[in-house]
Amino acid sequence: PVSVFWFRRDLRLNDNAGLYHALKSGNPVLPLFIFDKEILDELEDKDDARVTFIYNVIEALNKELHKHGSSILVIYDKAEHAWDKIIKEHNIAAVYTNHDYEPYATKRDEAVKAKLARHDIGFKTFKDQVIFEKDEVTKDDGKPYTVYTPYQRKWYAALKPFYLKAYPTEKYFKNLVKTKALPIPSLQDMDFEKSKADFPDQKYTDVIGDYAEKRDFPAIEGTSHIGLHLRFGTVSIRELAKTAHGYPNKTWLNELIWREFYMMILHHFPHTMDHAFRPEYDRIRWENNEEQFKAWCEGKTGYPIVDAGMRELNATGFMHNRVRMIVASFLSKDLLIDWRWGEHYFARKLLDYEMASNVGGWQWAAGSGTDAAPYFRIFNPESQTKKFDPELKYIKKWVPEYADFSKYPKPIVDHAFARERCLKAFKIALVK
């Protein structure tokens, strides 16, 4: 029999918790990846860059595996159907995989686990994509934190060298199944096209030292762009956290902790994927003006900092964090458009899209989340620009026509008016 290792959002051979345990199971390990039709069918763009990224990574993994006389089994189907096929065609002792905390993934894994159990096959899952998960960092009474700062304090208190140690998978590659190269379905087979997007590399160390001073200025390359690699597990969180922990300034490490905080929140409060964390915020009467939403998406709001951000997103699949906060505040508060519309648009466009962080970021901006900006804190696009893009370098990069201010389109909404309207709408919803 074989042990199957099911790759999902942990697409690397080195320092991979579940793979390590599979390799030590005593049975040869068959690596598996499923292009899950259920997820792919939801994607709106045929040239979705994330699909191309995953595809490239799977091809590269396969080449690595060939060096060890092995190969990855790649199936394009709904996960449950794929498992029917795999169970029929292989003699499986156990299945190994890493935790995935998103609501869809949790349900899928329960269904697969039950199916495997009917064939007496074990389903063993491991923590891999975070340093601390689920209930590992809680309040003293065992309840989940819903405020970041005490969570962070507890996170540091719980940290021991063991948690940052790499799993030495490479020692056990001899335990991979020996097989000829297995075919990978093409992007066309899956009804996708190759994206022309540029993917960021995995460098991150050069930003850590100056991160605290540089991270808020979108015209500077002050952040790592490592989000995509964290999303798909092409880097190990243990390696990142260990490196970051070695720096005296912990600002960058704290951002990695924010990521875990939001994953913990999504795990405990799965309703937040499409409902306000604080239910009273679901009572807000949004304006939901479709034309204004379109202008926001296209970067044509007449607010140059908002437009620059949206154009960066549309052109590259990335947007600087400071600008994400500005455009999200603008959509939910100035335009009074449901934050879920914005969350959805980000989900479609961001290379580093991560449901937990995206929902967390949007609900923070809309005021409805854990630890959120209070509803009366409404970003003023102009003062944000003065503070964070004082020389208008970022704006001019993405909105070149801004150079001739007289020709720049008028704002689609007046900020002072929008501010009052927002305060009113939020007050009505919250005092009910």
Calpha distance 121→154 (Å, rounded) = 37
H helix intervals, 236-380: 237-245, 251-268, 290-298, 304-316, 321-329, 339-349, 355-366
Site string for ligand FAD, 336-355 (x = CB under 6 A): ----------x---x-xxx-
Which amino acid, residue 97?
T
Q: Which of 136, 286, 289, 380 is catalytic?
A: 286
Contacts of 158 (CB under 8 A, 6+ apart): 132, 136, 137
User: Residue 38: beta bridge partners?
Assistant: none
Q: Contact region for ligand FAD (CB under 6 A) — 74-82, 225-233, 386-394, 411-419? A: 225-233
Is 362 marked active-site?
Answer: yes
Calpha distance 422→327 (Å, rounded) = 15
Do 39 and 80 touch, CB atoms closer than 8 A?
Answer: no
Nearer to ligand FAD, 116 or 256 (CB): 256
> Which of 134, 80, 90 is CA-nearest to residue 110?
80
Q: Which of 14, 56, 289, 321 is catalytic?
A: 321
Calpha distance 386→236 (Å, rounded) = 37
Q: Which of 255, 287, 289, 380 is catalytic?
A: 255
Calpha distance 50→43 (Å, rounded) = 10
Is 258 marked active-site?
Answer: yes
Shortest distance (Å) from residue 353 CB to ligand FAD? 4
Nearest residue to the partner ligand FAD, using Cβ: 361
Q: Contact region for ligand FAD (CB under 6 A) — 102-110, 151-159, 321-329, 369-377? A: 321-329
Considering only residues 238 to 297 of the shown chain, the ones binding ligand FAD according to CB under 6 A are: 255-256, 258-259, 262
How does DSSP assign 8-71, residue by residue?
Answer: SS---SSS-HHHHHHHTSSS-EEEEEEEEHHHHTT---TT-HHHHHHHHHHHHHHHHHHHTT--
Calpha distance 161→157 (Å, rounded) = 12
Nearer to ligand FAD, 50 or 259 (CB): 259
Nearer to ligand FAD, 76 or 258 (CB): 258
User: Residue 282: beta bridge partners?
Assistant: none
Q: Which of 6, 83, 296, 339 is catalytic?
A: 339
**Residue 379 found at the interface with ligand FAD (CB under 6 A):** no
> How far is Cα of residue 264 from the mean position of the Cα atoms in its chain?
13
**Residue 357 found at the interface with ligand FAD (CB under 6 A):** yes
* Interface with ligand FAD (CB under 6 A), residue from 40, 321, 396, 408: 321
Contacts with ligand FAD: how many residues (CB under 6 A)?
27
Do 144 and 264 touch, CB atoms closer than 8 A?
Answer: yes
> How far is Cα of residue 280 from the mean position of the Cα atoms in its chain?
26
Shortest distance (Å) from residue 214 CB to ligand FAD? 10
Shortest distance (Å) from residue 17 CB to ligand FAD? 18
Alpha-carbon dihedral sign for residues 393, 222, 8, 275: negative
Q: Which of 6, 252, 296, 362 is catalytic?
A: 362
- Distances in whole angstroms, Cα of residue 233 to Cα of each of 64, 227, 239, 250, 420: 16, 10, 11, 22, 44
Q: Which two tokens stand for residue 172?
A: 């056990």
Shortest distance (Å) from residue 322 CB to ligand FAD? 8
Q: Which of 258, 287, 289, 314 is catalytic?
A: 258
Site string for ligand FAD, 21-60 (x = CB under 6 A): ----------------------------------------
Calpha distance 231→6 (Å, rounded) = 16
**Residue 373 found at the interface with ligand FAD (CB under 6 A):** no
- Nearest-5° angle of CA 405, CA 410, CA 413? 140
* Interface with ligand FAD (CB under 6 A), residue from 362, 379, 388, 398: 362
Considering only residues 200 to 219 of the shown chain, the ones binding ligand FAD according to CB under 6 A are: 207, 215
Is 255 marked active-site?
Answer: yes
Is 83 marked active-site?
Answer: no
Shortest distance (Å) from residue 341 CB to ligand FAD? 12
Nearer to ligand FAD, 72 or 350 (CB): 350
* Interface with ligand FAD (CB under 6 A), residue from 361, 367, 369, 381: 361
Nearer to ligand FAD, 54 or 256 (CB): 256
Q: Contact region for ligand FAD (CB under 6 A) — 19-27, 73-81, 90-98, 361-369? A: 361-369
Shortest distance (Å) from residue 263 CB to ligand FAD? 9
Residues that bind ligand FAD (CB under 6 A): 207, 215, 223-227, 230, 255-256, 258-259, 262, 321, 324-325, 328, 346, 350, 352-354, 357-358, 361-362, 365
**Active site residues per annotation:** 255, 258, 286, 321, 339, 362
